[in-house]
Structure 1
Amino acid sequence: MSEVIKILLVEDDEDDYFLTSDYLERCESPKFELTWVTNSLDAVEALKTENFDLCLLDYLLGAENAIDVLAVLKSNQFSLPVVILTGQSDVTVDEMVMRAGAADYLQKSEIESPRFMRTIRYAMVRRDIENERIERNKVEQKNKAKDKFLAHLGHELRTPLTSILGYTELLIDDARNSPFQQELSIIHSNGKHLLSLLNDLLDMSRIMAEKLELNIKEVNLSAFLTDIHSLMRLNAKDKGLSLNVISKTKVPEFIQTDPTRLRQVLLNLISNAVKFTDKGSITLTISLDQHDEANKQSPLLRFSVDDTGIGMPPDKLANIFQPFEQIEDVMRANHGGAGLGLAICKELVTKLGGDIHVTSRLGEGSTFTFDINPGDISSQPNVELTLGQIQPVESSSIDLNVTGRVLIVDDLREIRRLTGHIVSQSKADISYAENGVKALEAVLQADEHNKPYDLVLMDIHMPVMNGIEALHAIRRHGKNIPVIAVTAASRKGLRESLIREGFNDVIGKPIDRFALANLLSQYLPPGDHITFSNVEAQVADMPMQKPYAPEKEESHGAPIKHRVDSDEATNGAQQSSIQKSSNKRVLVIEDDEDAAELLQLFLTHLGHDVTTEYCGADALKAAESDSFDHVLMDLTLPDYDGYDLAEEIKGKLPNATLTIVSGHEASKETMQTIGIDSALLKPVSKDDLASVVG
């Protein structure tokens, strides 16, 4: 069936109409369907009631001309191509109608010539191109609107989540609420679950918009996998499952990858395995697929997560990596989720240079296998994967009668928390640092304020400054504080090597709580009274028997409601609240009153003086009349663009540290241009604030 082109002819001369109609009727391909009107009003009515592919418009229509009609069509938002018909060629008229929006122009004498048909075809092609452009623009606008909506949604959800999680942590911190620990932990756990769903949604949005970037760095594979095992084995233990990590082949000691995204994939797959397994075990298997010389293929590092869980039916496996897909049986089992986790895993694995697939048998279990590109590993020998002796998870608590001050140094916040959870079962005060530089600063500052640390637990593999470098720096400053190396590596002679470097002792990862207890007994003074009384939220669903020491730069007693001097005398058996030695003046700029009050409470608990302003204008007045060491500000304010305000604040307080605290991800380029020091994404915890404010 040949194409039918619908044409609207606007012509007030009947003879010209018959001439045009006769010619079009004689065309065999394409076929034309002609509608005739004599003026612009009738043309508008015809276009309102019917769709046309092309308009043929006479230049002179009584009192009207083609330019007038084109203006009428444009004002009524009709976008079809218009070809002007003229009685005779006039260059000036031709230019005028083309500028007015005509697709082309023809002399009426050319209606029966080949040029007439070419003009129609060219006009139709231009129409198709324009329609494609319009549709593409619509899609782009929809995508922009979607991205804007998701960004707004993220901000709007993160703000109330800040209050939910923050105030719950404050309640958990208060020892008076110990009878309600289980209920508060449930609130906190569900708040964290909401946050994880939100993060999945925003991650998927960034992936689909091709805005997710990798941060490739050198990763010690044994240490990395030991951390994964340490984080997840308690989750498995809670359900009576065992978590095993094995290697089928020798593997490189170091790989080049994005550790954050690789960790995200592994934690997602292992968490799913734990979630959908009621008895048996989960096994993470690692192997190196050597490159194929013949096909010039690079080596791939392969990971497999096997479980003995509920499995999946074969007909459901095809769509399991599609966004928002869930297995019906899984939903009926009330496991929840947005159906984004596996879709995100697939996209992340693809970005990491590999692929992911699944095999499963209903009722017997599933195996998820994925590869990543380990980078250039040709210059290093492959070694046996050794995570150290994996100790069984003990549920009994440690009741050590030791006191003193302990600094825990590790670049992974989860590992810092896990180690802190174990140490907190003694009577020691606990502080934290995320790398060697921060550790050195903490040690020097503690000595400066006559509150030296009694022991440092130092991870070896860290960014910025590793553990060995940090130890050497501490010793160069004349500090003979005991420092224990914490390492996932277990190669022959490592312990002796680290002792020669200056460490007092060595403990392996995953940390065995009883081995750590022995070290604490050796290096910490005996305690006659409890110096730490905080209670912290549970760590990622990990079981706890005693209060957990919150991660912050300095540990305090019970939460304080007011400032006290550092030399304030203590009364009674419990230690009084003590002002933090690094007290700072902090300006908080936040329009949400709940979020602002929470930030003020957190910062006060950390020992800082806080001034709160709810809009940009008041914040600028405060910056003019007073001095501040640190400014925390939201990007979304009622009277100012966040970045504009930040620039003005920076001008008034050039020596102040400036941190963005927002539900929106801050632009790194804009931050660098203005001189913004750091950014926190809501919801923020007291630990987050301690990491940037101190």
Structure 2
Amino acid sequence: MTDVIRILLVEDDEDDYYLTADYLSQCEEPRFKITWVTNSADALSVLKRQSFDLCLLDYILGAENAIDVLEVLKSNQITLPVVILTGQSDSKVDEMVMRAGAADYLTKSEIETPRFMRTMRYAMVRREIENERIERHKVEQKNKAKDKFLAHLGHELRTPLTSILGYTELLLDEKQNMEMEQELSIIHSNGKHLLSLLNDMLDMSKIMANKLELTPKEVNLTGFLTDLHALMGLAAKDKGLKLDLIAQSEIPEHITTDPTRLRQVLINLLSNAIKFTDSGTIRVYVETIKPLRESEPEMLLFKVEDSGIGMPKNKLASIFQPFEQIEDVMRANHGGAGLGLAISRELVHKMGGEIHVDSVFGKGSVFSFTINPGDISGEPREELKLDRTCTRENDKLTLHVSGRVLIVDDLREIRRLTGHLVSQCHATVAYAENGVKALEAVLEAEKDQRPFHLVLMDIHMPVMNGIDALKAIRRHNCNVAVVAVTAASRKGLKQSLLDEGFDGVIGKPIDRFELTGVLDRYLIRTAGPAPSNDHEKERAHNHEISTKKSQKVLIIEDDQDAAELIQLLIVHEGHDVIIANTGTDALNTLKRNVFDIILMDLTLPDYHGYDLANDINALQSGAKLVVVSGNEPEPERMEELGISGALLKPVSKDDLTNLFADS
């Protein structure tokens, strides 16, 4: 309640005005300031110029009454608590004015009684409650408007990024553009940087709106860390740095956490360490921390240590704040929006831990954070072994083989990295993200008489793990060679996997030359374009890969550039593509053609994608419907509408390759 309560008294009797004003002036707490008018016209005029906390309104004002005045205030959208004053009590009048919107009803004889002051206070309290409700509503509406704007902005930025990154990838793949490779790589890397900034901004908006949710699952910790080392080791090597990953205690075989968000935090910290370190070694330490009390969980501690430029002590308190960057860093032109550490802090908090930093300016920094790994009391403990160093040579592998390889791994980046190595040996590559998808791909390939010659199968995956997938493949009498890929290093594991029926075992991170040996063993070696001898020719003929089954694809996308790029990428895969720029065009096209796959943008000029999905299903329920959007789609709506999957813009060549490999 305010220190001085501003009251508008609407009263046509001067004696009653003085009586009311005299009583209110004697009050020490709260204090009142009265403005007096005698009719509704003057009341309305004053209310348009000034703001008041409360209105005292006489029931009879000459030819008017309080109900007429309340109607005038309501029609002019003036809202404030109004207490009606009348000469005598009348229950019917009481009921009428309350229905008309009055806050309360008093007789004038009660002005000098305690009830009058209580009524004033209650009216003010109700006013404050209503103001708080209105303010909350305004904040909610602003947040909704902000969320809608950010969703629209994300879509509008992702769509042109699809064209920028996609066409650059196509140009980089063309041999005749080798002279422009450096320039094209700069365009591509800056496009990826823009995408990273956009993702950070959208993540931060979700965090600020408390809408960012984690998806915990069981994670094989050794495999997770090995994959991380393989990915970030390449980035460190590009800058001439060494990346070490060290376990300071035996670590649990499995933990329960959101692997995507944990990976995001570690990649943020490692990317910063690489960015701000010019020479030396970056070390990642991991260990379990025993709780101080029995009721507390055992925690997992990570430390990222670099020997880079470091930070002044007086700047450390602000680095986890959104949009904060240290001035010396900004002057060094390292870029970024200053969101990575703020996002990391919020993600760590959601994973049940805390994040801290120690730094010495000019000598380096140590970022440490904990997470709750779930109940790991019964988990086997193992040493972390990363025997292989992460290497990458500039020259391509010299092995030249012919054959079809299915790469199965739940981590998209590792699928791509392995696929890149296999492609260097000229084998044809397909992908699957779990054991179920791998089984479907193998059976479909057998049915189409274009079987895979080798499956590289990760062991630890969601939905169906590698061992169960192998057993399922063998139950269907498929004799394709299946080689296990694992980061686990416990004694006897290799032999146990061979006993399960795997044809071979290779470790993570994948050694390129060990992989070459596997490819040479199970695929057909060729000396360049043609087999080297008659025996090789016969083997190549027996394992000949038939042309991929062409599929009919409909792209529903209102951005012409993005649609044409996706069309070009799919046509290169040997498929037939038609473009529709609106929902109406798409439905008309569906009436004339039958499609295998439909790629649908969610934001169209005449339809929302979810509404269009219903009409598409009514026309062609057998088609595989995939959302292509600038925003994360709603999983519940997708399942409800029978949408098979989603691609987030910008759509890359690898995204589409994976999509058709699973189709």
TM-score range, shorter chain: over 0.9
Which residue matches 2:417?
Answer: 418
Structure 2 residue corresponding to 1:663, chosen from 630, 647, 650: 630
Pairwise CA distance, 1:149: 0.9
DSSP 3-state at the match of 2:356: strand
Please tell me whether the aligned partners of residues 282 and 306 of structure 2 are also in contact (alpha carbons under 8 angstroms): yes
Structural mapping, 1:538-617, within 5 Å: 580-617=547-584
Q: What do the CA deviations read for 1:472-506 (whole angstroms, capped 9, x no partner)?
A: 33334444433322211111122222222222322
For the structure 1 residues 401 and 659, does the alpha-carbon distance in structure 2 shift closer, same or farther, using more than 3 Å as the test?
closer
Which residue matches 1:167?
Answer: 167
| Alignment TM-score, normalising by the size of structure 1 | 0.89
Please tell me whether the aligned partners of residues 354 and 370 of structure 1 are also in contact (alpha carbons under 8 angstroms): yes
Alignment partners' CA distance in 1, 2:474 and 2:120: 86
Which residue matches 2:405?
Answer: 406
Q: What do the CA deviations read for 1:440-459 (whole angstroms, capped 9, x no partner)?
A: 33334444444443433222
Alignment partners' CA distance in 1, 2:580 and 2:391: 51
For the structure 1 residues 521 and 364, does the alpha-carbon distance in structure 2 shift closer, same or farther, using more than 3 Å as the test?
same
1:629 partnered with 2:596: yes
For the structure 1 residues 164 and 458, does the alpha-carbon distance in structure 2 shift closer, same or farther, using more than 3 Å as the test?
same
Structural mapping, 1:306-317, within 5 Å: 306-317=305-316
Please tell me whether the aligned partners of residues 216 and 259 of structure 1 are also in contact (alpha carbons under 8 angstroms): yes
Deviates more, 1:206-215 or 1:255-264: 206-215
1:200 partnered with 2:200: yes
1:349 partnered with 2:345: no
Q: What do the CA deviations read for 1:629-687 (whole angstroms, capped 9, x no partner)?
A: 22111111111232111101101112111111111222222222222221222111222
Please tell me whether the aligned partners of residues 388 and 488 of structure 1 are also in contact (alpha carbons under 8 angstroms): no
Alignment partners' CA distance in 1, 2:426 and 2:162: 31
Which residue matches 1:18?
Answer: 18
Q: What do the CA deviations read for 1:572-591 (whole angstroms, capped 9, x no partner)?
A: xxxxxx99532222222111
Deviates more, 1:229-238 or 1:657-666: 657-666
DSSP 3-state at the match of 1:24: helix
Alignment partners' CA distance in 1, 2:81 and 2:476: 81
Structural mapping, 1:27-426, within 5 Å: 27-292=27-292, 294-390=293-389, 392-426=391-425
Equivalent residue letter for 1:348: L
Please tell me whether the aligned partners of residues 311 and 362 of structure 1 are also in contact (alpha carbons under 8 angstroms): yes
Deviates more, 1:343-352 or 1:437-446: 437-446
Pairwise CA distance, 1:289: 0.7
Alignment partners' CA distance in 1, 2:390 and 2:171: 34
Alignment partners' CA distance in 1, 2:174 and 2:4: 79
Which residue matches 1:692?
Answer: 659
DSSP 3-state at the match of 1:211: coil
DSSP 3-state at the match of 1:607: coil
DSSP 3-state at the match of 1:424: helix
Alignment partners' CA distance in 1, 2:463 and 2:140: 41
Please tell me whether the aligned partners of residues 401 and 527 of structure 1 are also in contact (alpha carbons under 8 angstroms): yes
Deviates more, 1:132-141 or 1:424-433: 424-433
Alignment partners' CA distance in 2, 1:645 and 1:389: 51
Please tell me whether the aligned partners of residues 223 and 387 of structure 1 are also in contact (alpha carbons under 8 angstroms): no
For the structure 1 residues 388 and 471, does the alpha-carbon distance in structure 2 shift closer, same or farther, using more than 3 Å as the test?
farther
Equivalent residue letter for 2:225: L
Pairwise CA distance, 1:361: 0.9
Alignment partners' CA distance in 2, 1:220 and 1:520: 27
How high is the sequence identity, in percent, across the aligned residues? 67
DSSP 3-state at the match of 2:429: strand
Alignment partners' CA distance in 1, 2:399 and 2:411: 26
Alignment partners' CA distance in 2, 1:606 and 1:507: 30
Pairwise CA distance, 1:225: 0.2
Which residue matches 2:514?
Answer: 515
Alignment partners' CA distance in 2, 1:103 and 1:112: 19
Please tell me whether the aligned partners of residues 382 and 490 of structure 2 are also in contact (alpha carbons under 8 angstroms): no
Structure 2 residue corresponding to 1:681, chosen from 648, 651, 655: 648
Equivalent residue letter for 1:430: V
Alignment partners' CA distance in 2, 1:119 and 1:406: 82
Please tell me whether the aligned partners of residues 155 and 662 of structure 1 are also in contact (alpha carbons under 8 angstroms): yes
Alignment partners' CA distance in 1, 2:546 and 2:322: 50
Equivalent residue letter for 1:629: D
Structural mapping, 1:496-507, within 5 Å: 496-507=495-506
Equivalent residue letter for 2:263: R
1:672 partnered with 2:639: yes
Pairwise CA distance, 1:283: 0.5
DSSP 3-state at the match of 2:283: strand
Pairwise CA distance, 1:355: 1.0
Equivalent residue letter for 2:643: I
Alignment partners' CA distance in 2, 1:159 and 1:285: 39
DSSP 3-state at the match of 1:309: coil
Alignment partners' CA distance in 1, 2:574 and 2:546: 5
Which residue matches 1:644?
Answer: 611
Equivalent residue letter for 1:497: S
Which residue matches 1:492?
Answer: 491
Deviates more, 1:206-215 or 1:382-391: 382-391
Please tell me whether the aligned partners of residues 579 and 607 of structure 1 are also in contact (alpha carbons under 8 angstroms): no
DSSP 3-state at the match of 2:483: strand
Deviates more, 1:249-258 or 1:201-210: 201-210
Which residue matches 2:534?
Answer: none
Alignment partners' CA distance in 1, 2:54 and 2:529: 88
Alignment partners' CA distance in 1, 2:80 and 2:430: 71
Please tell me whether the aligned partners of residues 222 and 387 of structure 1 are also in contact (alpha carbons under 8 angstroms): no
For the structure 1 residues 441 and 164, does the alpha-carbon distance in structure 2 shift closer, same or farther, using more than 3 Å as the test?
same
Please tell me whether the aligned partners of residues 225 and 387 of structure 1 are also in contact (alpha carbons under 8 angstroms): no
DSSP 3-state at the match of 1:507: strand
Pairwise CA distance, 1:226: 0.2
Which residue matches 2:540?
Answer: none
Which residue matches 1:467?
Answer: 466
Equivalent residue letter for 1:671: M
DSSP 3-state at the match of 1:462: coil
Please tell me whether the aligned partners of residues 236 and 274 of structure 1 are also in contact (alpha carbons under 8 angstroms): yes
Alignment RMSD, CA only? 2.1
Alignment partners' CA distance in 2, 1:435 and 1:513: 23
Please tell me whether the aligned partners of residues 388 and 511 of structure 2 are also in contact (alpha carbons under 8 angstroms): no
Structural mapping, 1:452-463, within 5 Å: 452-463=451-462
Pairwise CA distance, 1:58: 0.9
Structure 2: state its 5+ residue gaps.
531-544
Alignment partners' CA distance in 1, 2:390 and 2:28: 86
Pairwise CA distance, 1:421: 2.5
Pairwise CA distance, 1:17: 1.1
Please tell me whether the aligned partners of residues 454 and 523 of structure 1 are also in contact (alpha carbons under 8 angstroms): yes
Please tell me whether the aligned partners of residues 9 and 56 of structure 1 are also in contact (alpha carbons under 8 angstroms): yes
Q: What do the CA deviations read for 1:331-357 (whole angstroms, capped 9, x no partner)?
A: 111111111111111111111111111
Pairwise CA distance, 1:469: 2.5
Deviates more, 1:435-444 or 1:56-65: 435-444
Alignment partners' CA distance in 2, 1:271 and 1:164: 24
Alignment partners' CA distance in 2, 1:583 and 1:100: 71
Equivalent residue letter for 1:270: L
For the structure 1 residues 43 and 502, does the alpha-carbon distance in structure 2 shift closer, same or farther, using more than 3 Å as the test?
same
For the structure 1 residues 391 and 208, does the alpha-carbon distance in structure 2 shift closer, same or farther, using more than 3 Å as the test?
closer
Equivalent residue letter for 1:418: L
Alignment partners' CA distance in 2, 1:504 and 1:29: 89
Pairwise CA distance, 1:198: 0.8
Alignment partners' CA distance in 2, 1:6 and 1:443: 79
Please tell me whether the aligned partners of residues 233 and 390 of structure 2 are also in contact (alpha carbons under 8 angstroms): no
For the structure 1 residues 327 and 78, does the alpha-carbon distance in structure 2 shift closer, same or farther, using more than 3 Å as the test?
same
Pairwise CA distance, 1:295: 4.7
Deviates more, 1:305-314 or 1:660-669: 660-669
